[in-house]
Structure formats: structure tokens, C-alpha cells
């Protein structure tokens, strides 16, 4: 394997491997296997996901986003902010840009040390539907914020069984065949939301989920318990801010703002993929 330069980024605790693939340095042969191998923690680079930056005829660049298990995902809010900062730092785009994703064209703007991205409009919002789990029925809201999300309100987000319950809902027949990401959210008296996320494709809790934070903000706004801008504290302790407009139950002009930190630059060797 030829040595491949990569960059490690973190968005509010979500970590990503980013590779500039505009000259096709990554072969498409068994790409899913390649991604899953280098996203392994302790055995390789380790990450929640991998982003390939590629050429586009309609925007500043195109991305292909992969979960750590090698599966494709339409959108990732934290990954999008990291991709935008990468593109700016390495001269691919200016401080205001747009890029292609499987969820549509995403626009982004660098604001000092943070990145603000404009999301696709949320779709398929449903609230307080009962589904049956092993321990009984639970009330679940759901919305698609580029990828599908389930949202469960809880008074004790710290005590939520994020992995066990999250995994059961993620594979529940109510969300088949694609499955869903799962969020557990609490509302503080000051209007700040606390969110923990089980991510499809990672198949575990992550320290943050950008599209998940958008999902909980929209669901809580729809239920008249939050308003724009909504500040959300993630599992990492980092804060993401969701901006949106609403008219007659329709949410639009949704933006996600937060950090996008470059951690290091490295070089993949053959052992990283074994």
C-alpha cells in the first residue's frame, strides 16, 4: 500500500480521519474494509468516522462520509464542520463554502474558532410514539436531520442506558430497514439541553453527535420546551448551538455551530490496514 497522508480532526468530541482524495489516493477496492480497519481504536488510527475530500463540479468540494464500521452515512454534523475547516486550512475553499454530501449541498462558514454549517431541512418529524422494548413501552420522537434520529426525553440523562436501550431502538422494527441513531435528552431550567447519543454505524455511544443535537433541538422546540438558538451540552462536555426558524410546524434555515479542531497530521502505513 502506498503511504497515504491523513489528518485527525475532532468536533466536540467526535473524531474523524480526513483524507484529501482529490487525486484518488484511496482505491475504491474494498473501501468499506479499508475504512473499518483504520478506524479501529488501539489497533490503528482510530476514529468515529472517515471523510474523503473529493472534487466537485457543483460545489467547492464533495465528500464521502463513512462510519467507523465502513458503512456510508448521508450526513454528519460534526464531521461536516471538520471537513469545512480542513477545506479552509488547506486552500480548497474560502471561509464561506459549499460541499456535496449524500444528504444534499451543505454550506459552511468559519467564524473565528468555530464553524457554522447550514443543514438540510428536517423531515418526517413525529413525536411521542409508543414502541415496545424488552422492558416495556417507551415514548419515542423521531426526525430526519440528514440521517434518521430517535429522541427520548428523560429526567436523568446521566442515568440513561444509552448503549443497551439505544442499541435495541437502533435495530427496532419501527425503524427498519435503515435503523436509526438514538438520543437521550434532558432539559435544564435555563433552557440548555443535555444530550447523549448512540450512533448507528459506530454502534456505541459517542462523545457528541451533531445531527443528533439538531434532532433534539427540533423535537424539543416542536414540543414548546426550547427555542432558537438552542445550546446543547454533549457527552464530551462540549457545547453545540443549533439555530433554526419555524413556521406552522415547519422548521427551516437550520444551522449547527461548534468547534472543529485539527489534532494531528500523519501517514498511513501498511500495518494500519492489517
- Based on the fold, state whether residues 112 and 220 are members of the same structural domain: no
Q: What is the mean pLDDT of residues 25-48?
A: 95
- For the chain, what percent of residues have pLDDT higher than 70? 100
- Based on the fold, state whether residues 232 and 267 are members of the same structural domain: no
Indicate which CATH number applies to the domain containing 236: 3.10.310.10
Residues of the domain holding 94: 4-120+260-273
Least confident of 96-100, 113-117, 140-144, 195-199: 113-117
- Based on the fold, state whether residues 140 and 253 are members of the same structural domain: yes
- Based on the fold, state whether residues 89 and 29 are members of the same structural domain: yes
- Based on the fold, state whether residues 171 and 77 are members of the same structural domain: no
The whole-number pLDDT of residue 80 equals 97
Q: How many CB atoms lie within 10 A of CB 34?
A: 21
Catalytic-role residue among 12, 39, 82, 209: 209
Q: For residue range 74-86, list pLDDT tens digits in order.
A: 899 999 999 999 9
The whole-number pLDDT of residue 253 equals 96
Q: What is the mean pLDDT of residues 89-110?
A: 96
How far apart are the two ends of the chain, measured CA to CA in Å?
Answer: 11
- Based on the fold, state whether residues 253 and 264 are members of the same structural domain: no
Check if 209 is active-site.
Answer: yes
- Based on the fold, state whether residues 128 and 218 are members of the same structural domain: yes
Check if 76 is active-site.
Answer: yes
Whether residue 219 is predicted with pLDDT greater than 70 in this model: the reply is yes
Q: For residue range 103-148, list pLDDT tens digits in order.
A: 999 999 999 889 999 999 999 999 999 999 999 999 999 999 999 9
The whole-number pLDDT of residue 63 equals 97
Q: How far is CA 95 from the centre of its chain?
A: 21
Average pLDDT, the chain: 95
- Based on the fold, state whether residues 65 and 165 are members of the same structural domain: no
Catalytic-role residue among 76, 82, 213, 255: 76
The whole-number pLDDT of residue 248 equals 87
- Based on the fold, state whether residues 95 and 131 are members of the same structural domain: no
- For the chain, what percent of residues have pLDDT higher than 90? 93
Structural domain count of the chain? 2
pTM (2 decimals)?
0.93
The whole-number pLDDT of residue 1 equals 64
**Alpha-carbon distances of 174 from 23, 28, 129, 163, 179, rounded to whole Å:** 42, 33, 10, 18, 8
The whole-number pLDDT of residue 2 equals 80
Q: What is the mean pLDDT of residues 40-69?
A: 97
- Based on the fold, state whether residues 32 and 113 are members of the same structural domain: yes
Instruction: Report the C-alpha gap between 232 and 32 in whole angstroms.
Output: 32
The whole-number pLDDT of residue 241 equals 97
Closest CA to 49 of 202, 170, 186: 202
Q: What is the mean pLDDT of residues 21-27?
A: 95
Amino acid at each position: 500500500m502506498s503511504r497515504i497522508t491523513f489528518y485527525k480532526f475532532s468536533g466536540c468530541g467526535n473524531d474523524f480521519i480526513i483524507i484529501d482524495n482529490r487525486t484518488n489516493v484511496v482505491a475504491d477496492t474494498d473501501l468499506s474494509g479499508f475504512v473499518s480497519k483504520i478506524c479501529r481504536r488501539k489497533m490503528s488510527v482510530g476514529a468515529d468516522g472517515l471523510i474523503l475530500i473529493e472534487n466537485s463540479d457543483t460545489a467547492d468540494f464533495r465528500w464521502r462520509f463513512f462510519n467507523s464500521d465502513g458503512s456510508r452515512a448521508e450526513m454528519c454534523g460534526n464531521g461536516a464542520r471538520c471537513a469545512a475547516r480542513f477545506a479552509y486550512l488547506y486552500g480548497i475553499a474560502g471561509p464561506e463554502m459549499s460541499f456535496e454530501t449524500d444528504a444534499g449541498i451543505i454550506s459552511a462558514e468559519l467564524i473565528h474558532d468555530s464553524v457554522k454549517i447550514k443543514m438540510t431541512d428536517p423531515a418526517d418529524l413525529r413525536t411521542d410514539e409508543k414502541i415496545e422494548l424488552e422492558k416495556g413501552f417507551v415514548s419515542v420522537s423521531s426526525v430526519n436531520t440528514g440521517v434518521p434520529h430517535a429522541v427520548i426525553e428523560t429526567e436523568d440523562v446521566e442515568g440513561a442506558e444509552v448503549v443497551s436501550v439505544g442499541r435495541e431502538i437502533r435495530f427496532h422494527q419501527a425503524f427498519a430497514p435503515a435503523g436509526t441513531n438514538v438520543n437521550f435528552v434532558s432539559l435544564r431550567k435555563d433552557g440548555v439541553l443535555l444530550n447523549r447519543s448512540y450512533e448507528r454505524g459506530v454502534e456505541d455511544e459517542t462523545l457528541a453527535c451533531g445531527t443528533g443535537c439538531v434532532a433534539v433541538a427540533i423535537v424539543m422546540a416542536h414540543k414548546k420546551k426550547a427555542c432558537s438558538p438552542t445550546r446543547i451540552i454533549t457527552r464530551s462536555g462540549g457545547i453545540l448551538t443549533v439555530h433554526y426558524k419555524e413556521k406552522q410546524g415547519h422548521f427551516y434555515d437550520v444551522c449547527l455551530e461548534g468547534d472543529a479542531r485539527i489534532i494531528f497530521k500523519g501517514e498511513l502505513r501498511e500495518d494500519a490496514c492489517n
